[in-house]
Amino acid sequence: MTPPDLDDKALAGRALTGDQSAYGALMQRHRDAVWRLARGHVGDGDEALDITQETFVAAFAALARYDGSRPFRIWIARIALNKCRDWARRRAVRRFFAFAKPLDDALDVADMGATPEQALHSQRELGRINAAIAMLPTNLKDVLLLRTIEQMSQAEAAQVLGITEKAVETRLYRARAKLTEILRD
């Protein structure tokens, strides 16, 4: 049986024995979800890529602590969220000392399939939505990203965040309401 044919628990077990292809298969299986989660949290694709790499380095270092009775997806999502929070703290400190503004808007590239006007409008709307998501408190942002971007169930999101399913439901409602309020202004 080749590593991609195995479930996450078996791949983790093989990776612990030094099987690099098993760890590679785990990484390939979950990297897009981790990147999307990080991208939603930090609002920048390049930063999300760095966080994704940090997440998998940390996961590999902690693989012996992975509980195979729980989904690997939830375990890696929790690590990714922690890396996003670390990134946010580091960014806040850098901004405080450097008074730097993000250059995200200068790096936008127009979609070749759209007219320049359409691309500009689309980029502005996307930037506005990403900025609104970034303004949400962390507890609301985490729930919103896990449920809407990662399409985790209420139970899975609760497991990742260590809260009840009812708390996930409440926070998701509040996050959507707050997002609507921010975007309306």
Distance of CA 163 to the CA centre of its chain: 18
Both 135 and 50 in a single domain? no
Hey, what are 125's tokens? Answer: 């709307």
Both 4 and 94 in a single domain? yes
Q: Tell me the CATH number at 148.
A: 1.10.10.10
Distance CA 89, CA 95 (A): 10
Burial (Cβ within 10 Å: 0-12, 13-18, ≥19) of residue 76: buried
Both 118 and 86 in a single domain? no
Query: Rg for the chain (alpha carbons), in Å?
Result: 18
Full domain range(s) for residue 120: 112-185
What tens digit of pLDDT does each residue of 53-79 get? 999 999 999 999 999 889 999 999 999
**Span 151-162, mean pLDDT?**
91
pTM for the whole structure: 0.63
What total of structural domains would you count in the chain?
2
Both 160 and 99 in a single domain? no
Q: Tell me the CATH number at 46.
A: 1.10.1740.10
Residue predicted with more confidence, 58 or 132: 58
Lowest mean pLDDT among 67-71, 106-110, 147-151: 106-110
Q: What is the pLDDT of residue 114?
A: 65
Q: What is the pLDDT of residue 112?
A: 53
**Span 137-159, mean pLDDT?**
89
